[in-house]
Amino acid sequence: MIKMGAKTMLSHSFRIAWKDLMELFRNRMGLVLLILMPIFMMTMVGFIYPSETSLNNVSIALVNEDEGFGDYSLSSAFITALEAINDNADMMTLTDASSLDDVRDLIQTGDAEGGIIIASDFTANIMSRKQGTVTIVTDQSNPQMSAMIQAVLGEVVEQMGTALAQQNIVDELGIDLSNALAVVKPYDIQVKGSIEGEFSYFDFIAPGIMAMTVMMSVMTGLPAAISQEREVGTLDGMMVAPINRLAVILGKTIAQMARGILQGTLILVLAMTLFGVTVHGNILLVFALLLLGVFSFVGLGVVLTSFAKDQETAVMMMTTIMFPMMFLSGVFFPVEQMPWFMQSISKVLPLTYVADALRKVMVLGADIPALTTELSILIVFGAVMTAIAVPVFKRAMTR
Amino acid sequence: MNSEEKTLSNQAEAEETLESEAMIEVRDLTKKFNGFTAVDHVTFDVKESEVFGLLGPNGAGKTTIIRMLSTLSRPTEGTARIGGYDIVKRDNKVRQLIGLVSEKMIMYDRLTAKENLRFFGKLYNIPKNILNPRIDELLELVQLGKWKNSKVGTFSTGMRQRMNVIRALLNMPKVLFLDEPTLGLDPQSTVEVREFIKKINRENKTTIILTTHMMNEADRLCDRIGIIDHGKIVTLDTSTNLKKLVSGDDATVMKMEIPNLTKKLVTSIQALDCVKSVTQENSSHLKIHATGDEAFDTIIDAVRTAKARINSVENLQPTLEDVFLYITGRKMRDKADNKIPMGNNRQGMPRRRIR
């Protein structure tokens, strides 16, 4: 009897899901947006979030104030070396400027984003065995850019300095080039990840975005779908039929989940083809995690739906919750960067664990045993939310 | 509930239990929303294959009664049984017996007529080999056969409403609820839908409860009519008996055309002892309810004395509209002390009117 009931309930759920998906696929505009959204999201995040060395054609004003030492000028050699490095990396466009004030003007008008000034006593100092001064001018109105220019130019100048020092030592001590490097820079730093391969910020963010998109689909889609049907009146048509009330939630969830997984897959494909993300773990496990994530969210969505009187309220409630969730669950920024109270909030958000687990699987190739904590938290969270949601929904439907 | 109403509904109740077993039994059904009482201890019975009308203005509580009976809303107090099953405790049993034509269209615009019906049919676990021919049959019945593969979103209001009605018939319900079935339809579609409702009732012996705020609709379709106002059933009887309430004894309803009608004249007619109510229908027509043998003479004399001309006088058969006015109008007079509340511009218009 109970088994029979479960079977008919499932078949009703699939009916409702089929009907919802049918409506979705007949809505051309909606379908286009559905596909465009992850594409936009991916390209935005993928191209905008930079890795450290990705300065590209930044215009830098170059001021050479060096007066030389007699006939001798080291600054022209410096500039030649700088241009040689730049020719390879294409990081910046060098423009000539006459003075610091000139650089400032250029920055103000937006014609330059930073500047390099070679001091007037550059050659003189170096020739008299002192340090030559190179000043890097940055644009404080754009802190991120400023930090980047500072770091990159600093590194370039540093490199050039090292090369010069190396050469000097070769000349003075008469040892060979590689030994000279050991004298100038005694430490060789090497960075190794826990697994082989090159990783970018994108590898960090792709699993998070996937998790977020799927959750967002379900979280905004479910209340919108239920309250929209309630407003239009079609929900009554289902409620007046002798079906289990749960079939309505389940059916709607299946439909929204299918929608979310579709978007998630699209993101994964884009991430792999456009941004070179590789999935190191089991891809089935990735999808299983997404499903589990949905399960942990659905209850919350249903509870909110039950409280919302109309579609507008439902969507507003969802957006209000989604936003902090997006930023607090470490999708875009590592949780460890946040102040302690935000970290505590982050610990109670299911998205945190979905994103974490997904990252472990996709980047680190983790297996189920490595995910025990995340999995159990998600299951418990989902079970508790569902237990609350079902009676609340039943009550709300017969208001 | 005042004593008069109680006797009325009790009378009706007593009659039914004697005659035949009731398909729908409603006892003290009450619904409160945050302290506001939408339905107030409503009690009535509906016999099998009867067409029962709930007539009342917007907001009277008709839809709430229908929603409670169709298990969509939980009563705050009281009980109701449909086919012997309690609407709260045995809601799933009740759902198998009923069909609902809601005020809103229960249809998905992006699905075709057939897909819509198949979706809802499947929710009733009707096997495919029965469901498919039934869908075709129902679509033919309302002349939508050739549109079965068109999306409902492209249908006209009349077509949509016909779809809305046959959707409720998929499970061959014993009881059919129709909430304002002809709302917003053009006259032709209205006639079609009404004919169809009659046909269902006649051929399938379906018990029907319909709500309407249109007097002529209730008059034409319903075996018995419950007039509902402020969540209470104020009168319940057959259309003929209800009309007798108004025209019975020595009541007169007349329509008078006075080209030079003035506000003062209306007031003076209202002030006459024999006049129960006056409705100004437009700039020159008055509808007057009066009692007494000499009502005609008295009123005409009054008009003549005021030096007004009379173009025509018509003696009217009372309609359900008059019944409603008669009943609720009297109620209003019970509360306030003047006969007709006066508007600022439109004199003699009762505040509550049935559209």
CA–CA gap between residue A210 and residue A261 (Å, rounded): 9
Lowest mean pLDDT across B121-135, B293-307, B325-339: B325-339
| Interface residue of A27, A240, A244, A248 to substitute, partner B, most B CBs within 10 Å | A240
Residue B159 has pLDDT above 80, yes or no: yes
A250, two tokens? 């389940």
What's residue A197's pLDDT? 64
What's residue A196's pLDDT? 65
- CA angle (A322 as vertex; A320, A323 as ends), nearest 5: 75
CA–CA gap between residue A321 and residue A329 (Å, rounded): 12
pLDDT-derived band at B66, boundaries 50, 70, 90: very high
Q: Which residues of A touch B151 (CB under 8 A)?
A: 26
What's residue B3's pLDDT? 46
Class of domain A58-184: alpha beta
Q: Which residues of A touch B90 (CB under 8 A)?
A: none
Q: Which is more confident, A335 or A383?
A: A383
CA–CA gap between residue A105 and residue A205 (Å, rounded): 38
Q: Which long-range contacts (CB under 8 A, 24 or more apart) does B156-162 make?
A: B157/B184, B157/B185, B157/B186, B157/B189, B158/B185, B158/B186, B158/B188, B158/B189, B158/B192, B158/B193, B160/B105, B160/B107, B161/B105, B161/B185, B161/B189, B161/B193, B162/B189, B162/B192, B162/B193, B162/B196
Cβ of residue B247 closer than 8 Å to a chain A Cβ: no
Interface of B with A in 276-315 (CB under 8 A): none
CA–CA gap between residue A280 and residue B58 (Å, rounded): 64
**B15-28: per-residue pLDDT in tens?**
444 444 789 999 99
A16 to chain B: closest CA residue: B119
Residue B324 has pLDDT above 70, yes or no: yes
What's residue A259's pLDDT? 87
Widest CA span in chain A: 103
Percent of chain A's residues with pLDDT above 70:
94
Q: Which is more confident, A58 or A236?
A: A236
Cβ of residue B136 closer than 8 Å to a chain A Cβ: no
**B215-245: per-residue pLDDT in tens?**
788 888 999 999 898 889 988 988 888 877 7
Interface of A with B in 22-61 (CB under 8 A): 22-23, 26-27
> Within 10 A of B9 (CB to CB), how many other CB atoms are there?
20
Residue B12 has pLDDT above 60, yes or no: no
**B165-184: per-residue pLDDT in tens?**
999 999 999 999 999 888 88
Lowest mean pLDDT across A182-196, A331-345, B27-41, B46-60: A182-196
- Residue A390's H or E segment, with its range, is helix A372-397
- Structural domain boundaries in chain A: 2-50+200-397, 58-184
Residue B149 has pLDDT above 90, yes or no: yes
Tell me the pLDDT of chain B averaged across its residues.
Answer: 82
CA–CA gap between residue B27 and residue B195 (Å, rounded): 31
| Interface residue of B106, B117, B131, B179 to substitute, partner A, most A CBs within 10 Å | B106
What's residue B86's pLDDT? 94
Burial of residue A109, with CB atoms counted within 10 A of its CB: 0-12 exposed, 13-18 middle, 19 or more buried: exposed
**Cβ–Cβ pairs < 8 A, chains A and B:** 72
Give CA separation, B167 vs B83, B116, B131, B141, in Å. Answer: 21, 8, 12, 12
Residue B10 has pLDDT above 60, yes or no: no
Distance of CA B43 to the CA centre of its chain: 16
Q: Which is more confident, B274 or B246?
A: B274
pLDDT-derived band at B247, boundaries 50, 70, 90: low
Q: Which residues of A touch B96 (CB under 8 A)?
A: 242
Nearest to B111 among A23, A232, A237 (CB): A23
**A306-322: per-residue pLDDT in tens?**
887 777 887 788 788 88
Cβ of residue B162 closer than 8 Å to a chain A Cβ: no
What integer is the mean pLDDT of A344-372? 86
Report strand pairing: B312-315 vs B251-257: antiparallel
Class of domain B248-335: alpha beta
Percent of chain A's residues with pLDDT above 90:
8
**A182-216: per-residue pLDDT in tens?**
888 888 888 777 666 666 677 778 888 888 888 88
What integer is the mean pLDDT of A48-64? 71
Residue B81 has pLDDT above 60, yes or no: yes
What integer is the mean pLDDT of B104-121? 93
Cβ of residue A19 closer than 8 Å to a chain B Cβ: yes
Cβ of residue A399 closer than 8 Å to a chain B Cβ: yes
Nearest to A104 by CA among A60, A137, A149: A137
Lowest mean pLDDT across A187-196, B30-39, B271-280: A187-196
What's residue B185's pLDDT? 84
Lowest mean pLDDT across A198-212, A240-254, B14-28, B304-318: B14-28
> Within 10 A of B64 (CB to CB), how many other CB atoms are there?
22
**8-state DSSP, A104:** H
Nearest to A249 by CA among A233, A261, A238, A260: A238
Nearest to A242 among B95, B105, B115 (CB): B95
pLDDT-derived band at A4, boundaries 50, 70, 90: low
What's residue A49's pLDDT? 62
Lowest mean pLDDT across A235-239, A325-329, B188-192: A325-329
- Structural domain boundaries in chain B: 3-106+168-238, 248-335
What's residue A390's pLDDT? 86
Residue A2 has pLDDT above 70, yes or no: no
Residue B29 has pLDDT above 60, yes or no: yes
**Main-chain phi, psi angles of B25, to 5 degrees:** -120, 125
CATH of B3-106+168-238, one of 3.40.190.10, 1.10.132.50, 3.40.50.300, 3.30.70.870: 3.40.50.300
Report strand pairing: B224-229 vs B51-55: parallel
What integer is the mean pLDDT of B187-207? 90
**Main-chain phi, psi angles of A9, to 5 degrees:** -60, -45
Residue A259 · residue A222 · CB < 8 Å: no
What's residue A93's pLDDT? 83
What integer is the mean pLDDT of B275-299? 82
Nearest to A124 by CA among A65, A78, A66: A66
Residue A225 C-alpha, separation from nearest chain B C-alpha, in angstroms? 13
What's residue B333's pLDDT? 33
Cβ of residue A101 closer than 8 Å to a chain B Cβ: no
Nearest to A313 by CA among A300, A322, A304, A323: A304
Can you tell me the ipTM of this complex? Answer: 0.72
pLDDT-derived band at B114, boundaries 50, 70, 90: very high
Interface of B with A in 51-80 (CB under 8 A): 70-74
Residue A314 C-alpha, separation from nearest chain B C-alpha, in angstroms? 21
Tell me the pLDDT of chain A averaged across its residues.
Answer: 83
Nearest to B163 by CA among B103, B104, B105, B99: B105
A333, two tokens? 């920024």
What's residue B7's pLDDT? 47
Report strand pairing: A134-138 vs A114-118: antiparallel
pTM for the whole structure: 0.71
What's residue A398's pLDDT? 73
Give me the helix-helix angle, A28-48 and A245-274, nearest 10°: 40
Nearest to B102 among A8, A236, A398 (CB): A236
